[in-house]
Amino acid sequence: MHDKAIEDSQSHSAAGEVVAIHGSVIDIRFPPDRMPSLGDAVSIAEDSGPSLIAEIQIHLDAVTARAVALGNTAGLKRGTPVQTTGAPLQVPVGEAVLGRLINVIGEPVDAGAPFPADVPRKPIHGPAPALSQQGNQPEMFHTGIKVIDLLAPLIKGGKAAMFGGAGVGKTVLIMELIRTTVERHSGISVFAGIGERSREGHELLLELRQSGVLDRTALVFGQMNEPPGARWRVGLTGLAIAEHFRDDIHENVLLLVDNVYRLVQAGGEISGLLGRLPSRVGYQPTLSSEIAEFEERIASVPGAAITSIQAVYVPADDFTDPAVAEIFGHLDSSIVLSREMASEGMYPAVEPLASTSSLLDPRLVGDLHYTTAQEVRKAIAHYRDLQKIIALLGIEELSATDRRLVGRARRLMRFLTQPFMVTTAFTGKAGRAVELDATIAGCRAILDGETDDWAERSLYMVGDLDEARRREASLEDTHARAEAS
């Protein structure tokens, strides 16, 4: 169905033939006057099964082009005929893709019915909105996650990313954001899984189906076991779907991407296969332009916005890595996940001192929010400065003022933990979504000393301060009964 739609929609169909195959890279010879443009899709008719789609990347000479396959090239032979399409790859968009799981070329992979022939399609390559058309008044995108809303608030129509190494909770945080934001915000969600494990895609599909939000979500996957071309372009497929809802249907869109670093990795594999010399730390020389091509198209226009939340793997926890540093430059909010906090059970493991947001300005969020966030950071920073002294000499060697500040910082860090809805089955704790006002009120109470006599565990993995207060009262009752007996 997909191949027929491509062939029927093109008027410039010209025959070429495969002359060489280098893994996922294919050399194709065309007639001299019918050479396709860079970025165009071509269809390679295989003997068995559907046609293979590839994208033209280099003109080797006047009659030979080098293309990147978006599927598996196993069994492909020299001399196989190739049809040009005269346009970039076009994928299905609109209401038809909601509730569906599709691959990089727009084919359903959820065992559902194929898309009808008249489904609208959009090219995966396109320009970013002009600067004159961009921009809305900065507005906070509430997530219900305390530490994010307080210290690194997301911007509606902005770009936010979660940075962390392996196993610190990026995917769980993304899944929680899907669940809470779809329930809290009207609009469409598009999830692009770049280089994800099959298990994670299956879990996400089940989670969205059980929570009843799948019918407002489009899922696009280029799995870890797929060729690099599929992983390299699947982010653009998700972006094309999001842009259609923003520009043509004027809906707000939440674009979730897991994981942007896999896009960079796939680009590096492609770059090597295309014969380009590597650049810094072995990355492709086109690193900056590849990230910019993806990130700059995520923008707001009057009446509708694409809000993007992305997970970024940090190799070896090295935040100076060129790919990570390049992604940082495109963001409005940066949420840094800490392995040290994860090892202490502080989930979500958001590092309060390294996470930032351009929205955290008193003119945008108000004096109370800004002041509270700064005081929370200051208290935690002071505690971190004293940690070595405490480890060497003990907390008793600190002054009374420092002991009090350390106690408040530890309580703040525990109050900023939170049980998630998506982890309820594993932890047995019901998830919590907390309003910003309740988060600020709880932090202010801790900073003002209201909880100085409370047990620290009363504030760990709770929602608002009222829940912590009830837990503290329960602990006191238990302690009193134990003493009485």
DSSP run (H or E) holding 243: helix 228-247
Burial class of residue 137 (count of CB atoms within 10 Å of its CB; 0-12, 13-18, 19+): exposed
Catalytically active residues are: 170, 196-197
Measured over the CA atoms of residue 31, residue 32, residue 37 and residue 38, the dihedral's sign is positive
Specify whether the CB–CB gap between 308 and 327 falls below 8 A.
Answer: no
- List alpha helices for 83-186, DSSP H: 146-151, 170-184
The CA distance from 85 to 329, in Å, is 36
Torsion of the alpha carbons at 107, 112, 114 and 116, rounded to the nearest 10 = -120
Name the residue among 287, 270, 290 with its Cα closest to residue 228: 270
Q: DSSP E strands: which ranges in 272-368?
A: 300-301, 304-313, 333-336, 356-357
Specify whether the CB–CB gap between 188 and 245 falls below 8 A.
Answer: yes
Q: Give the Cβ contact number of residue 135 at 10 Å.
A: 14
Q: Is 108 helix (H, G, I), strand (E, B) or coil?
A: strand
The CA distance from 65 to 63, in Å, is 7
Greatest C-alpha distance within the chain: 95
Instruction: At 165, give phi and psi (nearest 5°).
Output: -75, -170
The CA distance from 166 to 288, in Å, is 24
Q: Is 78 helix (H, G, I), strand (E, B) or coil?
A: coil
Torsion of the alpha carbons at 153, 156, 157 and 162, rounded to the nearest 10 = 30
Q: Give the strand pairing for 159-164 and 304-313.
A: parallel
Torsion of the alpha carbons at 407, 411, 412 and 414, rounded to the nearest 10 = 140
The CA distance from 260 to 66, in Å, is 25
Q: Give the Cβ contact number of residue 88 at 10 Å.
A: 21
The CA distance from 19 to 17, in Å, is 6
Name the residue among 357, 371, 445 with its Cα closest to residue 151: 357
